[in-house]
Amino acid sequence: MRTVVPKVDLNQRKWHLIDADGMILGRLAARIANILRGKDKPLFTPHLDTGDFVVVINAEKVRVTGQKETKKTYMTYSGWKGGEKIRTVAEIRAKHPEWLIQHAVKGMLPKNRLGRALLGKLKVYRGPHHPHTAQKPEPLKLAV
């Protein structure tokens, strides 16, 4: 028996539109990561990019459960002495709500060049408008 490697064609890729209004952040990120990897397709191959494009709108309306809005923190470090910045979910949501979804999805993708390529297929926007109408993204309903 020979191993069959599927031919990945750019014409096979679909565009999905996800409205993040009222969705829980972690569950949303897990579904997005599976679509980006192509795990929902029968031709999924772990070492190939077989996934679709995902456009997420209304990123500022994504939910976090419990007290994560004020207690969960994200830390960045510049490399300089005293250069760490600690921000809560509420502070990040006020300035860059897109970053919350991108960061959660990035943690669920492979940590190699395939993961970086997959993350390039994720487009996240703060409000209900996006510049990808020419690609005709299909609305995808996810359970809340």
For the stretch 79-129, pLDDT in tens is 999 999 999 999 999 999 999 999 999 999 999 999 999 999 999 999 999
What structural domains does the chain harbor?
15-64+98-139 (3.90.1180.10)
The band of 5, judged by pLDDT with boundaries at 50, 70 and 90, is: confident
With tokens 């990897």, the residue in question is 37
pLDDT of residue 142: 82
Q: What is the pTM of this model?
A: 0.92
Supply the angle between the helices 25-37 and 97-106 in degrees, to the nearest 10: 60
For the stretch 12-54, pLDDT in tens is 899 999 999 999 999 999 999 999 999 999 888 999 999 999 9
CA distance 138 to 31: 15
